[in-house]
Amino acid sequence: MVILKLPDEIEKARASNRIVAYVLSKLREKVKPGVRTKDLDKLAEEIAEKRGAKPAFKGYHGYPYSLCVSINEVVVHGMPSDRVLIEGDIVGLDFGVYYQGFFGDATVTLPVGKVTQKASRLMQVTEKSLYAGIAQAKDGNRLGDISAAVQDMVEDAGYSVVRDFVGHGIGKNLHEDPQIPNFGKKGRGIELKSGMILAIEPMVNEGKYKVQVLPDGWTVITKDGSLSAHFEHSVAITDNGPDILSKLN
């Protein structure tokens, strides 16, 4: 069941998502060669807690960390460790919080130092596909309009969208209905309505779309070893169009 939020609930969700955006802005400053991924995790947790928020992922279905850190061929759910970022890596940082009754969730993929033009293009296209999807998050549109907008941009650029993992509704729960695939057909799926909050999150592979989960039960990698990028915003559908909640201003 899709839960519609009242205007005051959307504002509470915005407060939660702004904490996420702030944490990611601070992590962005720290991403450079030589940084341990578990230090990024520790920093994310500390900043969130100083703002009165609880990290959303820690303990969720047993996940042991506050941050997901996905490097290069890791698509999603990479676990922080003693691994050190090196020049040329790309790293996805996925973070969420629970604050005053509502969840926030967002992701960025960042370059570590100087990266190849190929890696840079993958990140640019993935982020653009996110905004293409967001532009379709309008009252009266269909869920498939978001999915098709993402897929079209990604595949036109020669990349593939991951099919095994999708976006989701968000609010008083971290994951709510509806699921939001990054592939689909325009005009299909449920009707979008004001009051929905959607976590739209393209996961884009440089090669084929197939993925596999590593034995740790969390880390998802591209099956062909190609690079992957991931961007996400939590977006409210309003009478005035899409409202990105997970940004600083």
173-182 pLDDT, tens digit per residue, is: 999 999 999 9
The SS3 of residue 19 is helix
Residue 211 has pLDDT above 90, yes or no: yes
Residue 221 has pLDDT above 90, yes or no: yes
Q: For residues 246 and 249, give the distance between their C-alpha atoms in angstroms, rounded to a whole number.
A: 9
Residue 144 has pLDDT above 90, yes or no: yes
Residue 249: band (very low, low, confident or very high) from pLDDT cuts 50, 70, 90: confident
Question: What share of the chain has pLDDT > 70, as a percent?
Answer: 100
Closest CA to 212 of 231, 232, 226: 226
Tell me the per-residue pLDDT of 43-93, one tens digit each, with 9 for 90 and over: 999 999 999 999 999 999 999 999 999 999 999 999 999 999 999 999 999
Closest CA to 23 of 100, 79, 105: 105
Helices 117-135 and 143-156: crossing angle in degrees, nearest 10, is 160
Tell me the per-residue pLDDT of 186-208, one tens digit each, with 9 for 90 and over: 999 999 999 999 999 999 999 99
Tell me the per-residue pLDDT of 80-104, one tens digit each, with 9 for 90 and over: 999 999 999 999 999 999 999 999 9
Task: Please give the mean pLDDT across all residues of the chain.
Answer: 98
Residue 118 has pLDDT above 90, yes or no: yes
Residue 41 has pLDDT above 90, yes or no: yes
pLDDT score for 77: 98
Residue 245 has pLDDT above 90, yes or no: yes
**Helix (H), strand (E) at residue 156:** helix 143-156
CB contact set of 173 (below 8 Å; sequence gap of 6+): 103
Strand order in the sheet with 211-213: 74-76, 220-222, 211-213
DSSP string, 116-141: -HHHHHHHHHHHHHHHHHHHT--TT-
Residue 10 has pLDDT above 90, yes or no: yes
Residue 16 has pLDDT above 90, yes or no: yes
Closest CA to 239 of 171, 192, 172: 192
Q: Where are the domains of the chain?
A: 7-241
Homologous superfamily in CATH for domain 7-241: Creatinase/methionine aminopeptidase superfamily (3.90.230.10)
pLDDT score for 90: 98
Tell me the per-residue pLDDT of 149-173, one tens digit each, with 9 for 90 and over: 999 999 999 999 999 999 999 999 9
Secondary-structure breakdown of the chain: helix, strand, coil percentages, each rounded to the nearest 5: 30, 30, 40
Q: How far is CA 151 from the centre of its chain?
A: 16
pLDDT score for 64: 97
